[in-house]
Amino acid sequence: MQQDGEWFIEYKKVVGNMRKIPVIIDTDPGIDDAMMLTYACASEELDILLVTTAAGNISQDKTNYNARAFLSYIGANVEVAQGLDKPILRELEVAEDIHGESGLGNVDLPAPTLPCSERPAIQAMVETLLASPVPVTIVATGPLTNIAALLLAHPEVKSKIKVISWMGGSAVGGNMSPTAEFNAYVDPHAVEIVFRSGLPIVMSGLDVTHKAYVTVEETQRIAAIGTDFSDKVVKMLTFYLGVMKRTPFHAENYDSTIRFHDLCAVAYVLSPELFEGQDCYVEVSLDGVTAGTTVVDYMGASGKTPNVKVLHSVKREAFVEQFMQAVEVISTRIK
């Protein structure tokens, strides 16, 4: 596999005449998913072909509604297709305790003007991929249920997928159990299917996302923008931080910083130079007390060929600056 970021820099050169990187976003909004959509929709380098919704942070009906409501609010004109209601072989476990009952903390958005697509997510992904003249990047920021179902049912689309950039997993320590990260824990069988697909995969796990944070002081820069949108962003982030401080499992790790977990998956697509990672062989534990644990062979002890690029570091200040610019762009766009 090529060195960190090289293949994507080459990819951007190849599609340079198109001026944009074609992407499908699979998401489960979720506060940090909303931050990711802000970043993605503010970029002039992305061509968002489709948004599909996953069940994860909250149930499928809520994630689809939130995606449509948030994208409508920020003026994004994109098809939003509803994905599967539950993991492949497990019952769905949601994170309403973290994101609030609605999924977006205590922020109320106007009713969505974007309709739910008449095409189910898998059908929409297949048709979008096959119609694209160049391979498409998939950015996934929830459990990998939809992506796994796509690959199982339609292996013929693999050649139309450039890379899967996923927020999930962890090499060292979890946030759903001592060893498992939430998105991997919710549907480990989906992770297994995707990781064995032979496709290029970038894993933005907790190892890097815990370093991709804004401070309370930095959120004041967002507040100073002084728009309805910036106010809603600050309100969501403040809710997120408050929940973390009240949650015993997280309290010691979340002092005055707010992790932008999902933002990393799309930030890597746009700015791979901000990240450092390593090509590793990765397996996932499917059941028992370690269910959802992504076992990363950093040392190459297994002798198996690397199948995932595992990100572990980010240039935080530049990362935050890009997010600040994204909030300003969206604020200006919807005034």
Whole-prediction pTM value?
Answer: 0.91
Provide the 8-state DSSP code for 269: H
Residue 261 annotated to the active site: yes
To the nearest whole percent, how much of the chain has pLDDT over 70?
Answer: 90
pLDDT of residue 2 exceeding 90, the answer is no
Which tens digits make up the pLDDT trace of 236-265?
Answer: 998 877 665 555 444 444 557 888 899 999
Task: For 66-91, give one letter per residue: b (16+ CB within 10 A) or e.
Answer: bbbbbbbbbebebbbbbbbebbbebe
Average pLDDT value over all residues in the chain:
91
pLDDT of residue 5 exceeding 70, the answer is no
Neighbours of 153 (CB within 10 A): 12
- Active-site residue among 189, 210, 261, 312? 261
Which secondary-structure segment (H or E) carries 220? helix 216-223
Q: Please tell us whether the domain made up of 6-333 is placed in CATH 3.30.565.10.
A: no
User: To 5 degrees, how large is the angle CA 188–CA 102–CA 249?
Assistant: 55
Distance between CA atoms of residues 211 and 205, nearest Å: 10
Provide the residue ranges of all domains of the chain, joining segments of one domain with +.
6-333
pLDDT the model gives residue 35: 96
Distance between CA atoms of residues 97 and 7, nearest Å: 39
Burial level of 177, CB count in 10 A (0-12/13-18/19+)?
middle
Which tens digits make up the pLDDT trace of 185-200?
Answer: 999 999 999 999 999 9
Burial level of 118, CB count in 10 A (0-12/13-18/19+)?
exposed
